[in-house]
Chain A
Amino acid sequence: MNPEKTSDTALRSDMLEKEPFDFAKWWDRVGILVVLLALVALMAIIAPNFARVDNFLNIARAISVNAILAAGLTLVILTAGIDLSVGSIVAVSGVVSVLAAMAGIPAPVAVIAGMAAGALCGVVNGALTAYLALAPFIVTLGTMTFLRGLAYTMTAGQPIVASDLNFKALGNGYLAGVPVPVIVMLVVYVAVWFLLERTRYGRHVYAVGGNAEAAQLAGVRVKRVVTSVYVIAGACAGLAGVIFAARVISAQPTAGTGYELDAIAAVVLGGTSLAGGRGRIVGTLIGSVILGVLSTGLILMNVPFFTQLLIKGIVIIVAVAIDSLKQRQFIFSRIFKR
């Protein structure tokens, strides 16, 4: 008999016996998905024209820019950081890619130039945060303002329309009936999922967010990891900016204003803790979809814009409150066990 095998089966039955259904754990995994499905069902019933394939594709395309921002931001928030500059990066990278395309640079290179501009902004954010030990909130508040100014400066404050933009398919094209931005978004999510769930780097990201000091003492190069997450967030914002520019076929210095807050909302809705170390990228995607479904549904129901903001605000607070109560429940159960 193989001794390895026996211990394995022993392990299995052990797990089965000792793990009764745990609501908190179950909610942790699928709770947000339940919320999304309930929301979709509700909208399908009360909002006219909601439950149609083309509407779903529209929602998907509408959320793609925010969802790509939120994907990069998830890494930053997992390390207990924050990046407020991603909205401004959307504008800067859009401007860079449009200007590049107008200078006759081929489409793929123009797209990459936009992403590289975003990544470069991330290098600045990350290096200031990690190596000068500045608070990321303040650093990125500064770069948010600076980069917005940079976008205005590069465009002299006016939108630059490029009607024959060579990469406009990135925003407006379809591939097998699916909008290109949606495909890009899904690729980004698969890539980030793989990075976080399957690579050593991903485990290091969680470790840094879970306990930076312990990570350092466990041999994780904390400063490098911290820098890198801002670079990834910058590159994602850069990609989002390029898609946005392609979608509106122009460079808009005001592009992405306020997007950082929607992205943060999506990440937090998705269950990632602002304290770092806890969260899943799939949650962020669902969080983005919830925000998208909510806006579209409310628009279809002709709810006034002001009221939409009221509802969105409440949804965000309720979601965070649920998360916090869950945490407290855990602490309570620990105390009573003793």
Chain B
Amino acid sequence: MTTNSKQPLLRLEAVSKRFGATQALNSVQFELRTGEVHALMGENGAGKSTLMKILAGNIQRDGGRILLNGQEVEIRSPRDARSLGIAIIHQELNTVPAMTVAENLSLGHEPRTRFGMLDRRRALADARSKLARIGAHIDPRRSLGSLSVGMQQMVEIARAVSEDARVLVLDEPTAALSRGEAQQLYEIIRQMRSAGVGLIYISHRMEEVWQLADRVTVFRDGTFVGTGEMDRITPQDVVRMMVGRSVADLYNHSARTPGKIVLDVAGLAGGAIGPVNFNVRAGEVVSMAGLIGSGRTEVGRLVFGADRRSAGTVRIAGRESRPSDPFEAIADGIAMVPENRKEQGLFLDHSVENNIAISSLDHFTTAGVVRRGEAQKAALEQMKRLRLRLNALELPVKALSGGNQQKAALARWLLRDSEVLILDEPTRGVDIGAKREIYELIDELARAGKAILVISSDLPEAIGISDRILVMREGRIVHELPSAGASEEEVMLHATGASSKPENEGARQ
């Protein structure tokens, strides 16, 4: 590995990819050397997964070139990727939990005896040597499902290595790992690096990137921002590269004067979350920022009674709210627009009217019978307010665009007129026009005295539309700051944990 730095192992030149109206990758470059850990960073939607899918052969690039060892290559299928020695370790693992580790490792090329029967003994021996190669101490006879996620991941890495992967892409591999497991994974990564494998490491965690990587490349909005050597760059630099886009005055909101505390959360915990303490006042918009997996959605669900609480109290305008399901939370005056509107929010086959009216039917019911005219009129009123096409009333909601679907999801809770609104990613997958309208609506609701908690991965949005920001990391609120004057860098530093590191501390020696 002497001339490695001269001849890159993998090189991407001007690679582009477009999905419909979205330019997911715009002429990006990337270079990976032999025996290098190269971190790839960027906010959600920066184009990291698109790049990964292109390398995996799951999707095809529209333009540009991919060179492996200086040779131009085409990756038309996952099979091509494998034969070129490119392996991807996805966040969702690609293994069969019901089978043993050894069976998983020999999947597709099981050794056979002379009589065509499965050669279990050899499969077991092979598995042992594959696991030993990456230094993982796992009994290959165990069923894969009985292992922790971390160990399952190691089995998958062992498989990739056994297939002589020269390029290994790891997509947030430590997201589901305990600290100890992560350390073990780092060890394996270092071993593979010294064995000459090139590793692309996608992660949001500054700390581990500085621990592991040799270089870092940052993407933003589908474009290449820059590549830097780890020891010449600080976490603050990377954050600036990640977020430094110009922010239009999309988020202007009226001056608001928050009133009394409406939502008061103390010591709330459940699952891996908490305890968290926070409050939202009447007429106030509070944003909850943090990385994916930091527990923001879970906090919303705990307040809304969708998940079981293990501790803590929630008060709505002074009255304690202990919902055992969302039905009771709604009765207490809480509303939640869930993160994933298609899977959790909407009834795609059902009419827009039904989708809007479903949570307020008790207002339009006499002895169990729905007063249909009134329910319809009420739904129409909300559609008018949100500038939804009125003739969509009877259409199935799946016939609407993403932005209009989100408006229908919001309309349901506008009709309910709850005191507390939890909006989880209210503008995800929504076009800019609908975004602006949703921001105006949030502002209008706040002025009408509602207490609004917005969970958002879109930093400019989280800062721009709110009065205060709560930053979450690893299930807890680690920082709170006023939105006025807050910078994306500052929020990102707390969200990634980079703020707890003095500058340059993590640079490799």
Q: Which positions in A face B, CB cutoff 8 Å?
A: 7, 10-11, 14-15, 18-19, 198-201, 203, 206-207, 210-211, 213-221, 277-278, 338
Interface of A, helix, strand, loop or mixed by DSSP: helix
Q: Chain A contacts of B343 at CB under 8 A?
A: 211, 213-214
Cα of A218 to Cα of B329 in the assembled complex, Å: 10
**A216 near B306 (CB under 8 angstroms)?**
yes
Of B346, B358, B391, the residue contacting A15 (CB under 8 A) is B391
Of A10, A210, A213, A221, the residue contacting B349 (CB under 8 A) is A210
Cα of A168 to Cα of B200 in the assembled complex, Å: 79
**B330 near A219 (CB under 8 angstroms)?**
yes
**B368 near A220 (CB under 8 angstroms)?**
no
B347: interface (CB < 8 Å): yes
14 pairs, CB–CB < 8 Å, chain A vs chain B: A15-B391, A18-B391, A198-B372, A199-B369, A199-B370, A200-B361, A200-B365, A203-B354, A203-B361, A206-B354, A210-B348, A210-B349, A217-B345, A218-B326
**B368 near A214 (CB under 8 angstroms)?**
no
By beta carbon, the residue of chain A nearest B336 is A217
Q: Chain A contacts of B357 at CB under 8 A?
A: 203
Q: Chain A contacts of B370 at CB under 8 A?
A: 198-200, 203
Q: A201-B368, A207-B350, A221-B325 are in contact. Are A214 and B344 (CB under 8 A)?
A: yes
**A214 near B347 (CB under 8 angstroms)?**
yes
B73: interface (CB < 8 Å): no
**B349 near A278 (CB under 8 angstroms)?**
yes
B390: interface (CB < 8 Å): yes
Q: How many residues of B contact A (CB 8 A)?
A: 34
**A324: shortest Cβ distance to chain B, in Å?**
15
Cα of A15 to Cα of B357 in the assembled complex, Å: 21
Cα of A207 to Cα of B355 in the assembled complex, Å: 9
| Besides A200-B361, A201-B368, 5 new A-B residue pairs in contact (Cβ under 8 A), listed by A number | A210-B347, A210-B348, A214-B343, A218-B359, A219-B327
Q: Chain B contacts of A199 at CB under 8 A?
A: 365, 368-370
B338: interface (CB < 8 Å): yes
**A216 near B325 (CB under 8 angstroms)?**
yes
**B359 near A219 (CB under 8 angstroms)?**
yes
By beta carbon, the residue of chain A nearest B327 is A219
Of B358, B362, B365, B384, the residue contacting A218 (CB under 8 A) is B358
Cα of A334 to Cα of B344 in the assembled complex, Å: 21
**A217 near B365 (CB under 8 angstroms)?**
no
B116: interface (CB < 8 Å): no
B20: interface (CB < 8 Å): yes
Q: Chain A contacts of B336 at CB under 8 A?
A: 217
B412: interface (CB < 8 Å): yes
**B347 near A211 (CB under 8 angstroms)?**
yes
**B358 near A220 (CB under 8 angstroms)?**
yes
Cα of A142 to Cα of B53 in the assembled complex, Å: 46
Cα of A210 to Cα of B397 in the assembled complex, Å: 12
Q: Which positions in B face A, CB cutoff 8 Å?
A: 20, 304, 306, 325-327, 329-330, 336, 338, 343-350, 354, 357-359, 361-362, 365, 368-370, 372, 380, 384, 390-391, 412
**B361 near A277 (CB under 8 angstroms)?**
no
Cα of A201 to Cα of B361 in the assembled complex, Å: 10
**A219 near B326 (CB under 8 angstroms)?**
yes
**B285: shortest Cβ distance to chain A, in Å?**
22
Cα of A215 to Cα of B368 in the assembled complex, Å: 18
Of B326, B358, B369, the residue contacting A207 (CB under 8 A) is B358
By beta carbon, the residue of chain B nearest A333 is B399
Cα of A214 to Cα of B341 in the assembled complex, Å: 8
By beta carbon, the residue of chain A nearest B394 is A15
Q: Chain A contacts of B359 at CB under 8 A?
A: 218-219
Specify which of B349, B380, B390 lies most central, judged by the most chain A CB atoms within 10 Å of its CB. B349
Q: Chain A contacts of B329 at CB under 8 A?
A: 219
**B390 near A277 (CB under 8 angstroms)?**
no
**B347 near A207 (CB under 8 angstroms)?**
yes
**A275: shortest Cβ distance to chain B, in Å?**
9
**A153: shortest Cβ distance to chain B, in Å?**
39
**A277: shortest Cβ distance to chain B, in Å?**
6
Of B325, B347, B358, B384, the residue contacting A277 (CB under 8 A) is B347
Cα of A216 to Cα of B301 in the assembled complex, Å: 12
**A277 near B350 (CB under 8 angstroms)?**
yes
For the complex of A and B, the 7 pairs showing the least CB-CB separation, nearest first, are A210-B347, A219-B330, A200-B361, A14-B391, A219-B327, A218-B359, A200-B365
Cα of A170 to Cα of B241 in the assembled complex, Å: 80
Q: Chain A contacts of B380 at CB under 8 A?
A: 11
Q: Chain A contacts of B362 at CB under 8 A?
A: 200
Specify which of A198, A199, A216, A219 lies most central, judged by the most chain B CB atoms within 10 Å of its CB. A219
Q: A14-B390, A198-B369, A199-B370 are in contact. Are A217 and B306 (CB under 8 A)?
A: yes
**B358 near A11 (CB under 8 angstroms)?**
no
By beta carbon, the residue of chain B nearest A216 is B326
By beta carbon, the residue of chain A nearest B346 is A214
**A216: shortest Cβ distance to chain B, in Å?**
6
By beta carbon, the residue of chain A nearest B413 is A218
**A110: shortest Cβ distance to chain B, in Å?**
29
**B358 near A217 (CB under 8 angstroms)?**
no
**A274: shortest Cβ distance to chain B, in Å?**
14
Cα of A7 to Cα of B361 in the assembled complex, Å: 24
By beta carbon, the residue of chain A nearest B328 is A219
By beta carbon, the residue of chain B nearest A327 is B349
Q: Chain B contacts of A213 at CB under 8 A?
A: 343-344
**A20: shortest Cβ distance to chain B, in Å?**
13
**B332: shortest Cβ distance to chain A, in Å?**
11
**B257: shortest Cβ distance to chain A, in Å?**
31
Q: Chain A contacts of B384 at CB under 8 A?
A: 7
Of B325, B338, B350, B361, the residue contacting A210 (CB under 8 A) is B350
Q: Chain A contacts of B326 at CB under 8 A?
A: 216-219
**A53: shortest Cβ distance to chain B, in Å?**
36
**B398: shortest Cβ distance to chain A, in Å?**
8
Cα of A333 to Cα of B85 in the assembled complex, Å: 39
Cα of A225 to Cα of B142 in the assembled complex, Å: 41
Q: Chain B contacts of A211 at CB under 8 A?
A: 343-344, 346-348
Q: Chain A contacts of B304 at CB under 8 A?
A: 217
By beta carbon, the residue of chain A nearest B361 is A200
